[in-house]
Structure 1
């Protein structure tokens, strides 16, 4: 790099628990193809600050990163991003710490006040991050520190679009993960395009903020070839694919699937706007199973049309259009539908609340799922910035208010600041309706999943995947002591993605990890699954478990019920 100091290896983290963002996978592949040794930690299960510190110490010791990138896409990860950065600074003050993503781009001025961040990447991150790794003194899209400590914002020169994003695609999945567990946590998310052309009043990622933070005036589809490369890279490593971009067509997606066999994969598609049957047909004909989420904005047609009339909501289906789509989808036996909407949007009334309940009940009667949640406060969203315009109040609006909210949350708590109506009677009615719909949703979901069994019921092990790994390879050698690293674990996946990781030879007295079923517990689960390799009655399996692992009949039934609930065992 002409005498510049190259920062490699690089470690990329998501700021939240679970699978916080798949964007770091695109970044890692891009860096690898440019000669930078990049690694990711995709899944983060840490809850307490002590757990965070232990995990980061182990990761830093394993990777020895010169630069750590933290992806702060979602606003509810703001506190955790700061916790990660501060902890990394304590572990090794020489590591360069970079933060980027939608939320980092929106709140860059506030984040710059924290000395745990060396650089903030605004907008699209591939070229800016590579420039930082290569020692470029003027990396595009970056906020750096001037000698006096003041922010130095460099121009937003790198804005991805249809003609300059061909080099963005998944690659190096065999190199970037530090454990098989982390790679198996990948949800299969693929981005057919980027950006948004709508200005929904509740969304912090709407058109106006996209333009301000990313410099992107309108959404775009990525090149067909680059999306095809995504599919080629992950098809034999993932059991499902997820999409959530509205601009895709059947023709475009079929081109990206060319030459890739997806007939044994599942698909989850989050569809904004009015669904086109050509796209739904193509998904159902390509994948073994499809879960289609139809976003209709809200369940009250009157409220929905009022939002659209005012330019505050993306185009959404009418009730009649929605019901026609559901009816047309019945020809696909491998497709199920969830209808999604937000409760508590502006212009609610007693009449709109009744409309909501009627449509929810109608959708459920057609055996569709329902996704229903109250309006949350998102930074930069119109209704969050100006709640008084809609006769509402917000539980957080500024950076400090959001940060204070998330700092007060207990470990494992997942609440977010909400928007509520100033009129107390209306707010109470909206909340009652929300609780009523959530109860209906829970009852409907439980009824769909419930399998009634007795001693004569014949069940079969329907788990589509059973794999075996050494414990060190599964959890990562940075997390496992050498004395148990060679022990075998068995990883079982159910038809809907639920996982079991059984380590019967690893006693909790030697080593323990909360993601494992260890010792006797692991052996019981594997023995139960084995009992149903062929269709077997529950009574016969209970007898086998009594003989093989000394389980009493009641305990054996509880284990069988547990595996039925997880859809590892299903009626033969």
Structure 2
């Protein structure tokens, strides 16, 4: 028996039996529309508990379900044995799947404890603990020590009255909310190199349950964490400074020491030929922090993906290129319109965006991904389409194939704790969901448009969906025109957009004709077409990937890690 098993659920538990037009909600992230990527916290929690002598494992139910139609999650849950089952409810799209998994754990293992964690679990902690299937919620962005203490109480059979950050219920059903006092100010005690995950794979002779997302074996991108919390206050972000204060009691960001971060990058790069994604803008802690990282990581030649939260100048780009010659950039200005951007919490100019692109390309960036969003404050349909025209100007100016623009909707939900969620009127949002159960029920709607938890003063759900497809259609054609994608790929994407538009009309017609089980039966007749249109709707997801060769892993180094050998200096 394990002391603890972490379970990652799909967004909707029975998604394989449903006909849902998910649309472009996951086009710009590695996972599928059922959000099969578990949070990085699983790896840090696994490492921490194993270092304390506990037997722990991870089971990515969502990825298993995506990879194999024959995989039976109920059977897997029933076969597992653990004192405690941990289920992530980090991002709100898991509202249905996480609760369904919790219910099944209680059905098959009534004596086991069920604990949920993550941003969304934190926000809805009282509602969750009020459910029969949930015993505990650990709140905040750092739960390693609280979870260790909770396991101690579980083993001893004592009430967890002294476990920080814990919401729980007594034997009489009374809900208790312990103070949120565990808010570490540095991240240097965390194990962030995935070594424990690799060793667990070898120990359990079990690879498929540990993969972070379904196609990770084909594209093993790794993440290095610089920070918890943020210095920025983007209106729609559930990880903003305001959200961190509300959800995690974090008054200021906590950083990983730059030298440790550099060691993480080297260690992760020793396992995989895919990029190491450095999460968080290195400049948030100041230029001294960034320069210490650059000195420590000097000489690492693998691909590294870095984020910019605001524009950079040529001097910074040169320092970045000198330290990481194989760097790639992700920058998300959200809109071409400075007024829309300012209303979203990004008060910088188009000139700043363009100088950033120019500087990074000039110093040798391998590629520069530019992300735009649909569904922002003060954003009209005309503004969305003007963003595509702005991309045309950028691609004409920086015409060497390394600048790649993307556009997608803010979907499916507003992040709980974000400024837009907490103050919808101020930012022009009209919310359609308030409780966790509201969001869970929305996930059962037939299309992504009907799943949306919001509309804005400038765009209804109908308008937002229509302009999303049109913007995707135009940007796809622009990429083909500029030679960023092949004619064949452009035609495939255009066909998927056309099919998705047609399916949206068909589904809405069925919704007017039927309801309940009759509607479900009618929708299932469209399932083959819907499933075909669900991935890479407004762009091909492969556009996000960097070529990694036929063998994406560094197998010898993985073997060394798996058998407990040090590979920190591996090339």
**TM-score scaled to structure 1, two decimals?**
0.68
Aligned length: 443
Q: Which residue of 2 aligns with 1:560?
A: none
For 2:192 and 2:164, the matched residues in 1 are separated by 20
Q: Which residue of 2 aligns with 1:361?
A: 392
Q: Is the 8 A contact 1:78 1:403 kept in 2?
A: yes
List alignment gaps of at least 5 residues for structure 1: 1-6, 454-493, 502-572
Matched, 1:13 2:7: yes
Shift in alpha-carbon separation, 1:25–1:52, aligned structure 2, 3 A = farther
Q: Is the 8 A contact 1:8 1:133 kept in 2?
A: no
Q: Deviations over 1:26-49 (max 9, x none)?
A: 11111111222222235732559x
Q: Which residue of 2 aligns with 1:213?
A: 247
Q: Is the 8 A contact 1:201 1:383 kept in 2?
A: yes
How far has the Cα of 1:144 moved from its partner? Answer: 1.4
Shift in alpha-carbon separation, 1:86–1:280, aligned structure 2, 3 A = farther
For 1:262 and 1:176, the matched residues in 2 are separated by 30
For 2:429 and 2:336, the matched residues in 1 are separated by 20
Q: Which residue of 2 aligns with 1:78?
A: 95
Matched, 1:175 2:175: no
How far has the Cα of 1:139 moved from its partner? Answer: 1.4
Q: Which residue of 1 aligns with 2:15?
A: none
- Find the partner of 2:86 among 63, 69, 79: 69
Q: Which residue of 2 aligns with 1:450?
A: 486
Q: Deviations over 1:470-514 (max 9, x none)?
A: xxxxxxxxxxxxxxxxxxxxxxxx95359899xxxxxxxxxxxxx
Matched, 1:28 2:62: no
Q: How much is the aligned-residue C-alpha RMSD, in angstroms?
A: 3.6
- Find the partner of 1:242 among 277, 281, 295: 277
For 2:488 and 2:467, the matched residues in 1 are separated by 31
Q: Which residue of 1 aligns with 2:378?
A: 347
What does 1:355-434 correspond to in 2, within 5 Å?
Answer: 355-365=386-396, 366-367=398-399, 368-376=403-411, 377-408=414-445, 416-422=451-457, 433-434=467-468
Q: Which residue of 1 aligns with 2:474?
A: 440
Matched, 1:100 2:117: yes
- Find the partner of 2:261 among 227, 232, 255: 227
For 2:179 and 2:380, the matched residues in 1 are separated by 46
List alignment gaps of at least 5 residues for structure 2: 11-34, 490-544, 553-571
Task: Specify which structure has the higher proportion of strand.
Answer: 1
Matched, 1:114 2:131: yes
What does 1:265-284 correspond to in 2, within 5 Å?
Answer: 265-284=302-321
How far has the Cα of 1:276 moved from its partner? Answer: 4.7
Greater RCO, 1 or 2 (C-alpha within 8 Å, sep 6+)? 2
Q: Which moved more, 1:136-145 or 1:126-135?
A: 136-145
Matched, 1:88 2:105: yes
How far has the Cα of 1:108 moved from its partner? Answer: 0.4
SS of the equivalent of 1:303 reads: helix
Matched, 1:153 2:177: yes
For 2:383 and 2:329, the matched residues in 1 are separated by 25
Q: Which residue of 2 aligns with 1:131?
A: 149
Q: Which residue of 1 aligns with 2:355?
A: 324
**TM-score scaled to structure 2, two decimals?**
0.68
Q: Is the 8 A contact 2:294 2:319 kept in 1?
A: no
